[in-house]
Structure 1
Amino acid sequence: MSTSNAPCPPPSAPSLLRRRSVLQLAAAGAAAHVGLAAYAQGSAGRVIRIGTTFDNSGVEKANGSGMFAGSSAFVAALNKAGGIFGSKVELVMKDDGFKPDVAKANALAFAADPSVLALLHPLGTRQSAEIIDAVPGMAVVGPNTGTVSLRKKASPNVFWARANYDQEIDRLVRQAASSGQKRVGLVHPKDPLGASLLAGFQAAMARQKLEPVIIATTPGTVSLEVEPAAKQIAGVKPDIVIVGLAGTAGPFLKALRAAGGNPMVYGISISAGSIFAMGEQAHGAGFSIAVPSPYSRRTAIARRYQDDMRAAGHKDLSLASIEGYIDAMVLAEGLRRAGPSPTRAAVMAGLERIEDWDAGGLRFNFSRPGHEGCEYVDVGVVSATGQLLT
């Protein structure tokens, strides 16, 4: 079923650039979308270094390593096509173990290195908050969180490349209401992420004139103490439960089934990797996705992603890796607009000049308040064959 939101519609076929053309445009700095004059020569031999810190060893390793696989695949293809104004792009990775204080320390280390021009796709709500505040003079592109409270802060250095959680939850609640399912519940962690999800859920339910039948909590984002919440929900027997969990969503779903609970499960985007990894137990589960399906070739951006992932030696496709790929593409467009000798300030200015930019099926506009670049939300369901259907 197709459930794409209108704000980021796929362009008509004639407007989609071929993958090779897009990479050549990025390499040469020629902007067909905005008509800016640019030059392929520039600073040949220079290396543009981009920092990235995420969980590569803890509970969110699947999401972190997935995003890095996608961004690395894009950068490899970009460099093969000549880089940006002749300069190669290098991703410099640090593992923060999903610990906010370590994420902040990593960001400060990047800020102390003048060769690092921007930061890419930090992972987690508290981690992103620490990073954004720690490096006000550097662009932070594509934080992997949709927490609304972060977007309400005055943080001109952050560029959001995904929809927020309010938009995701609203889409899921509307999906439930349109299918006639009115007994809807929520599980969320008892922390800032969970508070944001709860507020968005309550607002979305009110818009549909529905009352939640159960709201259950887990102790925190990384807590595996999910059985009490699972048993609570199983006892109430809702039609649908919206899972506002990330890496612990899979263990929660397993506990829910073990407790005899069999509602339809809808997860937000950060739960998708954990649920999808559960194999047969995930069949029938749905989740909001803030990117096009990585398994479909309907959009140019997904086709390029798939081709570049294969070229980089990656056999597994995922929602996390296509998000990382898109984040890297957005940053590359900002670098291109920054000119042949980019500085940190020039990169931020280049990103701010992205307005109604077609990235091959997604449109980005950072002239919106808060630099919320794209509002795309779709719904995917895990089929009986383990495929993600959208």
Structure 2
Amino acid sequence: MSDSKARTFDLLPRPTRRQAIGRLAGAATVAGLGLPVFAQAKTLRIGATFDNSSVEKANGCGLFLGSSAYFNALNRAGGINGTKVELVMADDQFKPDIAKANALSFAADSSMLAILHPLGTRQTAEVSDAVPGMAVVGPNTGTVALRKKANPNTFWVRANYDQEIDKLIATAAVLGQSRIGLVHANDPFGLSLLEGFKASLVKANLEPAVIATTPNTTSMDVDPAARAIAKANPQVVIVGLGGTAPAFVRALRAAGCMSQAYGVSITAGFLGQLGDLAHGVGFAIVVPSPYSTKFELVRRYQADMLASGVKDFSLISLEGYMDAAVLAEGLRRAGPAPTRAAVLAGLERIEAFDLGGVKINFGRTNREGSQFVDVAVISSNGRLIS
């Protein structure tokens, strides 16, 4: 295995990393795509393109750990209609053009049935447009503008960012916090958040306390935005950033601002980089807490992660697990010899599908499956409270 392949599971704790690779890998490696996959004589092949080496690596690896754990468990139980599932990864480095190239490579392989959880707003747009005849399931973005596009091949599992911001502002209002600001990236992802933020404030009969921007989703030039927020000193700042969120929060605290920080869901994957500064940070979540065992979904997820040698539970890996479960249901409904068209039709027929506490509803004119949104906070002892 080359050095680039060996870094695929860098997020795993050292004692379990070798075990997890062995369990996830099987006995064969897909040439050129950089990750071992399940070796089967006959398989249902699924592609996954996401960032495995750049600023969004934490989220990309988390998604893949969760979906891999689901398919491992599924394969141990006999697969779908007696056929195993093979999950093939390609690293897009969080670059839209590479994500598109990966999707086209998957589409050129007639054995590949669907694409799972692309990561990022522009990346998802490129992937969905590039493969209109393939199902794209569970994109890891809540950008509303993408969902308004005519992409009937794209099935959204998570709630959208407008729903997340509505929940964050409603939570702030319950706590008596009315001076609310926003920091967002100056790109399609960030501008979508800005539109949702303004609409949510109108519904709450509030005005924005401050709005600041960073150059783009990957830019670490966050100090000017942090200083602008600190100067306005809102009661709450909604952090509409992903991989750059930890740098922003550190800059905000360094500027002397102690405003309550609420992140959108993609922020959660990076809170581990904040250390003690994560305490008290809140964020929207679009899946249940990975520790909330009152959900049957979470109990299955924990068992399947452990069976795959992964002891660290997270929101992002639970999201990947859910994405895989939804795609698997579409594959089941596609019949014993599924085609790409049959998978699309199978997904479209999913209605009132209970994942174990979270329901998924698609339909002929509906591609937004889940409405689940909650708010979680990192406590003083580092635990997730929702």
Confirm or deny a common fold (TM above 0.5).
yes
User: What is the distance in 2 between the residues matched to 1:331 and 1:130?
Assistant: 20
Matched, 1:133 2:129: yes
* Gap runs ≥5 in structure 1: 1-43
User: What is the distance in 2 between the residues matched to 1:303 and 1:104?
Assistant: 35
Matched, 1:323 2:316: no
1:119 is displaced (CA, Å) by: 0.2
Query: Which of the residues 253, 267, 270 maps onto 1:257?
Result: 253
* Partners of 1:168 and 1:268 within 8 A in 2: yes
User: What is the distance in 1 between the residues matched to 2:273 and 2:374?
Assistant: 20
Matched, 1:387 2:383: yes
Map 1:107-146 onto structure 2 (within 5 A): 107-146=103-142
User: What is the distance in 1 between the residues matched to 2:249 and 2:128?
Assistant: 32
Map Cα deviations across residues 203-239 of structure 1 (whole Å, 9 max, x no partner). 0001010101100000000000001100111111110
Q: Which structure is richer in relative contact order (CA contacts within 8 A, separation 6 or more)?
A: 1
Query: Which of the residues 238, 262, 276 maps onto 1:280?
Result: 276
* Partners of 1:46 and 1:86 within 8 A in 2: no
Deviates more, 1:364-373 or 1:378-387: 364-373
1:45 is displaced (CA, Å) by: 5.2
Query: Which of the residues 134, 144, 152 maps onto 1:148?
Result: 144
Provide the secondary structure at the position in 1 that maps to 2:142: coil
2:57 maps to a residue whose letter is K
1:94 maps to a residue whose letter is A
2:202 maps to a residue whose letter is A
TM-score by length of 2: 0.89
1:162 maps to a residue whose letter is R
Identify the residue that residue 355 of structure 2 maps to in structure 1: 359
User: What is the distance in 2 between the residues matched to 1:72 and 1:90?
Assistant: 9
Deviates more, 1:367-376 or 1:338-347: 367-376
* Partners of 1:154 and 1:370 within 8 A in 2: no
Query: Which of the residues 233, 238, 242 maps onto 2:234?
Result: 238
Moved over 6 A (4+): none
Map Cα deviations across residues 39-98 of structure 1 (whole Å, 9 max, x no partner). xxxxx9520000000000000000000000000000000000000011000100000000
TM-score by length of 1: 0.88
* Partners of 2:348 and 2:364 within 8 A in 1: no
1:311 maps to a residue whose letter is A
Identify the residue that residue 66 of structure 1 maps to in structure 2: 62
* Partners of 1:338 and 1:349 within 8 A in 2: yes
User: What is the distance in 1 between the residues matched to 2:158 and 2:110?
Assistant: 28
* Partners of 1:356 and 1:364 within 8 A in 2: yes
1:284 is displaced (CA, Å) by: 0.5
What is the aligned-residue RMSD (CA, Å)? 1.0
1:370 is displaced (CA, Å) by: 4.0
Q: Among all aligned residue pairs of Structure 1 and Structure 2, give the percentage whose two residues are the same amino acid.
A: 65
* Partners of 1:213 and 1:238 within 8 A in 2: yes
Matched, 1:192 2:188: yes
1:276 is displaced (CA, Å) by: 3.8
Query: Which of the residues 271, 285, 289 maps onto 2:267?
Result: 271
1:364 maps to a residue whose letter is I
Matched, 1:56 2:52: yes
